[in-house]
Amino acid sequence: MEVNAAEDLAIASRILSDQGVFDAAGHVSMRDPHHADRFLMSRSLAPALVTADDVMAFTLDCEPCDPRGRTPFIERYLHGGIYRRRPDVMAVAHGHTPSVVPFGLVGTPMVATYHNAAFLAAGVPVFDIRATFGMTDIVISSAERGAALAEALGDKAVLLLRAHGFVAVGPSLPAAVFRAIFTEISARVQLQAVTLGGSIAALELDEGRLADAINLATVGRSWEFWKRRVTP
Amino acid sequence: MEVNAAEDLAIASRILSDQGVFDAAGHVSMRDPHHADRFLMSRSLAPALVTADDVMAFTLDCEPCDPRGRTPFIERYLHGGIYRRRPDVMAVAHGHTPSVVPFGLVGTPMVATYHNAAFLAAGVPVFDIRATFGMTDIVISSAERGAALAEALGDKAVLLLRAHGFVAVGPSLPAAVFRAIFTEISARVQLQAVTLGGSIAALELDEGRLADAINLATVGRSWEFWKRRVTP
Amino acid sequence: MEVNAAEDLAIASRILSDQGVFDAAGHVSMRDPHHADRFLMSRSLAPALVTADDVMAFTLDCEPCDPRGRTPFIERYLHGGIYRRRPDVMAVAHGHTPSVVPFGLVGTPMVATYHNAAFLAAGVPVFDIRATFGMTDIVISSAERGAALAEALGDKAVLLLRAHGFVAVGPSLPAAVFRAIFTEISARVQLQAVTLGGSIAALELDEGRLADAINLATVGRSWEFWKRRVTP
Amino acid sequence: MEVNAAEDLAIASRILSDQGVFDAAGHVSMRDPHHADRFLMSRSLAPALVTADDVMAFTLDCEPCDPRGRTPFIERYLHGGIYRRRPDVMAVAHGHTPSVVPFGLVGTPMVATYHNAAFLAAGVPVFDIRATFGMTDIVISSAERGAALAEALGDKAVLLLRAHGFVAVGPSLPAAVFRAIFTEISARVQLQAVTLGGSIAALELDEGRLADAINLATVGRSWEFWKRRVTP
């Protein structure tokens, strides 16, 4: 495992806490930059507390490569399922922010309310664990559940989990963090637009594609700012 | 009274302030681990300021065992009534958070919007003090009011008090704290889901039961995080 | 002017900022405890910055008793008008909090959503400056405007100013501060209850009267907590 | 470039971050007080981090006068377009606050909900980039786009950008900052008034004009307070 990767991943975890996407729970992972068949993820720990030492490496079967007595998150199968199915994905964030959970509970589709949420314009599917697994504890705690979730995600950037939360993925760690943050903010914007009433002139598909390219090109500016808030 | 119990209870009080469930008011209690017929609760004090020295022991009749000149909360009868009726309850939290109070004012039942709120899936009754006591000052200031409230709670985890607030109970102190926090958050989620409109695909009864077991098994991770924020 | 009174008033100003009732604007005053025909109020200054040295004394005509080169708030006439008409009022707070302003813009009456807002149960009138003065700059900048506002307040605890803000009064400085804070919180609760829909089982008139007496008797506990947050 | 102007502009940028109008993005500019055909604006940087050294001067064609290797914001064309068309404008702020974006997505016009938002009473137009440019990346990245935006602004104080954000302008830097802040707050007030339902008794045109004059005359009090929070 690369030292810099573990350090960046710990920073990402603390950024998502600091920005209100994670609370006492939530986890973010990244594909190992030197081993495409592995991913890195914190041990089971509140995301605000994660440091590089807490980062573990896993195979795509979600087996720890070097446990050293550390307890992994049960939901690592959510991450593993996505890395297995989506070679383009380099990072995955999973949270339960109060503004996003509602969209997994009702029929209203999420839209891309503004340029920063451009990645939503391609559509946001909903994964209802009942469809395949019936009555469960909701947790993505097996390879089967992880695979079903990854299938529901398809080629999209964000997936809603009914009565659970959401997943945001990206072609880089800063991109996945950016998308998780603006999924939360766009959800708030859409809730308020719905309150105002009438149709919502969200980004069209082509606008979303064009604006997303700009976001990916300039995400470093946001990352540096967020990082500064969570590093001593 | 055990020193560790008083210390833990003070931490619970400060956690519920720090997490926005308590404001200048609110109180949390626990059954005395060594005397099942006693409970521990802070003297009348803003919950953010509670330390172990402020914790008093009470009989289930709400008589202080060792007052030492300290003034108890009037509403200790709310706690005593529950401990008397519910031997399984080891801790009780009572707050008035702005997101939860609305559900005690209207006919919309609270639902379990996501796994962290699984304990709501069994149903959330509403206690209207008018039904038994007519026009009052709303305060649960007598054994009779405490008993009526405990009867309204029944075997549930959360009770709404009309025009007042809510009570969350649990099989341990961290569990009651967890439930108070996620009652508040789930209320916010449900308010936003109602704003979006349409039916809400909340946790079903069996999903709630299964997810609650996971929550109770992993509550320590959240407790340690919350505790760290309120201990020097 | 009493030193302690000026000190308490400065603390009240900082409390109302700290609790989110005041932003860069807002002001609180108190009747001079030794001169019932005078009131104390900060010079024109952001309320979070007020210290005892900023407190000026005014006659009920709103003339400064001891200006020492300090610039008074234009809106002192709002305060003077109330002290003149309401001998029972010992303190007045005026703010523009985003949750309360909406109730001055629409036909929905404010209700007392829970015991801490009991003082609202007697009713909350709305003052529309257009009714008497036509097109204005909205500011309560004259004795005539102050008198009209005080007449609209009548014997109530809270008055809404259309397209402007609100006034909360009380029989003591902590009581007025308490009422300003819980006017804001109750407004939020009511907004959310309206979102849920259906009729709202707010406090009835007699419940409000009884609960208000409890609040006034126990306001010291909240005051001490709020004060501790804004004093070094 | 004047030192004091660059210092003030950096403070304005940090104020708008501190007050929640800017997040990781957003930018504010001012006309060069000594060169009416130039404007000052930060290099591309998170607005909370801007210091005087980051401030660059631009011609009204958005060419940097003294780049010194610094990278300008792509969206400087938004600012340049306005300075070119509106000689009365001395400062421009552009943000994407979650409460304001919804008003650019739906048909509900923004109104002036209270005196601090008086500048909205003259009306708030919406700029939809599709009308002139079709499918784009939404960014105001050329002189043509900047000119179209400035035309949409007309003689108003605030312009909404569909699926993007808003622009607030003023006759001084503190005035533009004040307007950006109260555009955000008034948006929140209006959203809540809409939730309550019924017609909204917002400021009339003449009230807005009169109240705006008061705001412009007293903006220094707010500026000093906001500034104190962001200067060491």
Predicted local distance difference test score (pLDDT) of residue C2 = 63
Question: Is some CB atom of chain A closer than 8 A to the CB atom of B196?
Answer: yes
CB within 8 A of B68, min separation 6: which ones?
none
- Which chain B residues are closer than 8 Å to C114 by Cβ? 96, 101, 138, 163-165
* Residue contact B197–A194, C-beta within 8 A: yes
Interchain CB contact of A200 with B (< 8 Å) = no
The strands making up B91-95's β-sheet, listed across from edge to edge, are B55-59, B35-42, B27-32, B91-95, B165-170, B158-161, B126-127
Q: How far is A227 from chain D (nearest CA, A)?
A: 11
**Residue C187: phi, psi to the nearest 5?**
-60, -45
Query: How many CA atoms within 13 Å lie on the side-chain side of D221?
Result: 21
In this predicted structure, the answer to whether residue D104 has a pLDDT above a threshold of 60 is: yes
Residue ranges in B110-230 assigned as alpha helix (H) = 130-133, 143-153, 173-196, 205-230
At D47 the pLDDT is 97
Interchain pair C115, B139: CB under 8 A: yes
Question: In a 10 Å sphere around its CB, with 0-12 CB exposed, 13-18 middle and 19+ buried, how is residue A134 labelled?
Answer: exposed
Residue C4's alpha-carbon distances to A48, C13, C26, in angstroms, are: 44, 14, 22
Query: What angle, 0 to 180 degrees and rounded to 10, lies between the N-to-C axes of helices B205-230 and B173-196?
Result: 120
> Quick one: pLDDT at residue A1?
55
pLDDT of residue B232: 81
pLDDT at B2: 63
pLDDT, average across residues B191-220: 97
Mutate which of D50, D73, D137 to test chain A, going by most A C-beta atoms within 10 A? D137
Q: How far apart are CA B74 and CA B81, in angstroms?
A: 13
**What phi and psi values does residue A93 have, to the nearest 5 degrees?**
-120, 140
Listed by number, the residues of chain D in 98-127 with a beta carbon closer than 8 Å to a beta carbon of chain C are 112-116, 118
Q: Tell me whether residues A106 and B199 touch, CB distance under 8 A.
A: yes
The pLDDT assigned to C232 comes to 80
**Separation of alpha carbons D19 and A193, rounded Å:** 22
Give the DSSP letter of residue B47. Answer: G
Residue B193, chain C, CB below 8 Å: the answer is: no
Q: In the predicted model, what is the mean pLDDT of residues B96-117?
A: 97
Residue with tokens 């008011």: B25
The pLDDT of residue B4 is above 80: yes
Quick one: what percent of chain A has pLDDT higher than 90? 98
* C-beta of residue C97 within 8 angstroms of C-beta of residue C110: no
Q: How far apart are CA C210 and CA B129, in angstroms?
A: 13
Alpha carbons C188 and C185: distance in angstroms, whole number: 5
Tokens of B222: 């959240």
Rounded to two decimals, the pTM is 0.96
CA atoms of B40 and B59, how far apart (whole Å): 9
User: Could you tell me where the beta strands, DSSP code E, fall in A114-186?
Assistant: 126-127, 158-161, 165-170
pLDDT tens readout for residues D150-199: 999 999 999 999 999 999 999 999 999 999 999 999 999 999 999 999 99
Query: Please, what is the average pLDDT of chain D?
Result: 97
Predicted pLDDT of residue D111: 98
**pLDDT tens, position by position, A13-42:** 999 999 999 999 999 999 999 999 999 999
pLDDT, one tens digit per residue, over C46-104 is: 999 999 999 999 999 999 999 999 999 999 999 999 999 999 999 999 999 999 999 99
Q: Tokens standing for C180?
A: 């300003």
**Interchain CB contacts (distance < 8 Å): C and D:** 102
Which residue ranges of chain C lie beneath pLDDT 50?
Answer: none
Interchain proximity D200–C105, CB inside 8 Å:
yes
pLDDT above 90: percentage of residues in chain D: 98
Contacts of C131 (CB under 8 A, 6+ apart): none
| Residue D108 DSSP class | P
Q: Letter for the amino acid at A230?
A: V
Q: Is the model's pLDDT at D3 over the cut of 90?
A: no
Give me the pLDDT at residue D214, please: 95
In the chain, the amino acid numbered D68 is R
Is the pLDDT assigned to residue B81 strictly greater than 80?
yes
- What pLDDT is stored for residue A232 in this prediction? 80
**ipTM of the prediction greater than 0.85, yes or no:** yes
The CA-based diameter of chain B, rounded to the nearest angstrom, is 56
Convert the pLDDT of each residue in D72-100 to its tens digit: 999 999 999 999 999 999 999 999 999 99
Whether the CB of B46 is below 8 Å from some CB of chain C: the reply is: yes
CB contact under 8 A, C24 and D222: yes
pLDDT digits (tens, 9 = 90+) for A171-215: 999 999 999 999 999 999 999 999 999 999 999 999 999 999 999
Report DSSP letters for A119-180, one per residue. GGTT---EE-THHHH-S--S---SHHHHHHHHHHHTT-SEEEETTTEEEEEESSHHHHHHHH
On the question of pLDDT at A131 being above 80, the answer is yes
* Two structure tokens written together for C123: 């009713």
